[in-house]
Structure 1
């Protein structure tokens, strides 16, 4: 086989694509890693319930601004969580950021 033909055949082969980076279920940014968030907290009976993958800043902020009781009763879906009044200022800010980690400890 000639080099020219070999190059043409190689160019026609599909190139292996890299897996897409994870995306946060709350802010919807592409991030390096995510963690699993129980939409209904385990302490409120959500051990085997639905989960969503969140980036570290969103996961920390959800638990900073909302109690487990509020999460269970008022925000049992990701759509409800996105609409939470308590998170709107944060979500507006984080969607414009490139940060991967934030510190927002209680107290």
Structure 2
């Protein structure tokens, strides 16, 4: 049996709609905090914890799935917590910087896999 999900009620104020509660389809989405490309609601977005939950982090931000996957394919959770806990810090990593130069030429909905494993 299929489970039905509630859609936002147009009669409710924004504070009570699903977009305001932080669901995956947030209404007003700005640029990706890592690559700066516009974010489009849908499967091309992920939530990223700047400090991994396993290291006690709570703050999270929407970003492109491809950017999120690249971060985790290059860095361990310990590295993220110790030195790369912000977009500015991540941009200083040589492999992430090379990736950003490449991905900025792609459309906002672009998704691909990363074949390189963490070191």
Q: Give your verdict on TM over 0.5.
A: yes
Partner of 1:102: 112
Partner of 2:39: 31
Secondary structure, counterpart of 2:78 in structure 1: helix
Offset at residue 23 of structure 1 (A): 2.1
Partner of 2:95: 86
Query: Which piece of structure 1 moves more, 80-89 or 59-68?
Result: 80-89
CA distance in 2, matches of 1:43, 1:21: 27
Secondary structure, counterpart of 2:79 in structure 1: helix
Secondary structure, counterpart of 1:54 in structure 2: strand
Q: Which runs of 5+ in 2 are unaligned?
A: 1-26
RMSD: 2.0
Provide TM-score, normalisation by structure 1. Answer: 0.70
- Deviating beyond 6 angstroms after TM superposition, the runs of 4 or more aligned structure 1 residues are none
Query: Which piece of structure 1 moves more, 33-42 or 64-73?
Result: 33-42
Offset at residue 106 of structure 1 (A): 5.4
Residues 106/43 of structure 1: CA separation in 2 closer, same or farther (3 Å cut): farther
Of 43, 56, 79, which aligns to 1:45?
Answer: 56
CA distance in 2, matches of 1:24, 1:59: 10
Q: Which runs of 5+ in 1 are unaligned?
A: 1-18
> Number of residues paired by the alignment?
87
Provide TM-score, normalisation by structure 2. Answer: 0.63
